[in-house]
Structure 1
Amino acid sequence: MNDFVEALVSDGKSPNLPDEYNYFGKLIGSWKLDYIDHNLSSSVKGEWIFSWVLEGMGIQDVIILPARDARTDVVHPLTEYGTSLRVYNPTTHAWDVAYGFTGKIFRLEAKKQGDMIVLTNLEDENHKWVFATIEDDRFHWQNVTVQANGDWHINADIYAKRA
């Protein structure tokens, strides 16, 4: 297992990844989060851990809802244990993203739109995941559905603080 981890995890960003496309670098590390699902009127505390991978050309994460130290025998309605792999694409200058958890995989493309990083679902372009802000010690993420009139319906918010 150590060989796998050593081959996967990287010490930092590759010099081949241009700084102007290093959208996710500030996320490296561990975060405590509040996940709020507006459609289910439910919330949960969780954790999100990010690491450089693939010789610094990718970032992989693990999101855990509820947080490992908050889990009980009663299954929370927002339980999820998933991972994203984000790999910079030098041809498109976007990030190719795959997110998966038990029974589901999403493919997305991440690009900057103003100050936001918008990840668009490749099978349903009206479904987006948005890093609205990323600061050194906090970030705000949203799960959004674009309505027919162009308005954004916010399905869920994550407010994260560095652990």
Structure 2
Amino acid sequence: MDGFIEALASDGRSPELPEEYDYFGKLVGSWKLDYVDRNLSCSVEGEWHFAWVLEGMAIQDVIILPSRATRTETPHPLTECGTSLRIFNPETRAWDVVYGYTGKIFRLEARKQGDMIVLTNLEDANRKWVFASIEDDRFHWQNITVQDDGTWHVNADLYAERA
């Protein structure tokens, strides 16, 4: 297993990844989070871990809801353990993203829109995941559905603080 981790993990961003496209580098590290599902009217504490991988051209993460520290024997309605792989695509100047958890895989493309990073679902452009803000010690993420009139309906908010 050590050989796999050593081959996968990277010490930082590749010099081949232009700094202006380093959208996700600030996320590297571990985060405590509060995930608020607006449709189910419930929330859960979780954890999210990000690391540079694939010689610094990609970032992989693991999200765990509820967090391992707060998990109980009673299943929570927002239980999920998943991983994303974000790979910079030099041809499109965007990030190709795949997210998966048991029984689901999503393909997305990430681009900057103003100060936000918007990940658009490639199978349904009305479904978006948005990093609304990323600071050194906190970030705000949203699960969005674009309505027919173009307005955004927020399905979930995630508020994270660096662990």
Instruction: Give the whole-Å Cα distance in 2 for the aligned partners of 1:93 and 1:46.
Output: 31
Q: How does 1:1-163 map to 2 (within 5 A)?
A: 1-163=1-163
Instruction: Give the whole-Å Cα distance in 1 for the aligned partners of 2:17 and 2:126.
Output: 29
Instruction: Give the whole-Å Cα distance in 2 for the aligned partners of 1:103 and 1:42.
Output: 23
Instruction: Give the whole-Å Cα distance in 2 for the aligned partners of 1:19 and 1:25.
Output: 9
Runs (5+) with no aligned partner, structure 1? none
Deviation at 1:42, TM superposition (A): 0.7
Instruction: Give the whole-Å Cα distance in 1 for the aligned partners of 2:121 and 2:137.
Output: 27
> In the TM superposition, what whole-angstrom CA distance separates every residue of 1:127-149 from its partner, at most 9, and x where no partner exists?
00000000000000000000000
Deviation at 1:83, TM superposition (A): 0.2
Partner amino acid, structure 1, of 2:71: R
Runs (5+) with no aligned partner, structure 2? none
Question: Identity of paired residues, percent?
Answer: 75
Deviation at 1:51, TM superposition (A): 0.1
> In the TM superposition, what whole-angstrom CA distance separates every residue of 1:42-87 from its partner, at most 9, and x where no partner exists?
1000000000000000000000000001111110000000000000
Off by >4 Å, runs of 4+ in structure 1? none
Partner amino acid, structure 2, of 1:62: V
Q: TM-score, normalised by structure 1?
A: 1.00
